[in-house]
Amino acid sequence: MEENKNFNDRARDTASNFGEEAKNTANEFKENWNETTNSGNNLKLACGLLGIFLGYLGIHKFVLGYTKEGIIQLVASIITCGFAGIIGFIEGIIYLTKSDDEFYRTYQQGRRPWF
């Protein structure tokens, strides 16, 4: 009987410790996620990948705040049956090859709409 009580106490303590560790890990993950999503580096990565995979829709332009250019990209892709999507693909590669600082200065701060 005494063994069961000790086992139950140890199990309860282990579960409690596991719960605390899980909460700490979740909080740490949340802090890192917020830090990552609020940085300019994340915008560079997101726009680069969107340009490569969905460039024909102009989504990377909309994410950067270039509404007019995004609409132009979308319409051009519709008119050319998607062939204008090569522009978005090239832009995605250009975005990813720039340094974080250069991307920020050129596309976010300088508002350069094309290439």
The full set of domain ranges for the chain reads 1-38, 40-109
How many CB atoms within 10 Å of residue 90? 14
CB 111 within 8 A of CB 67: no
CB 33 within 8 A of CB 49: no
CB 85 within 8 A of CB 77: yes
H or E element that contains 77:
helix 67-79
**Residue 64 and residue 67: Cα distance in Å, rounded?**
8
- Quick: pLDDT tens for 46-73: 999 999 999 999 999 999 999 999 999 9
pTM: 0.62
More confident residue, 25 or 86: 86
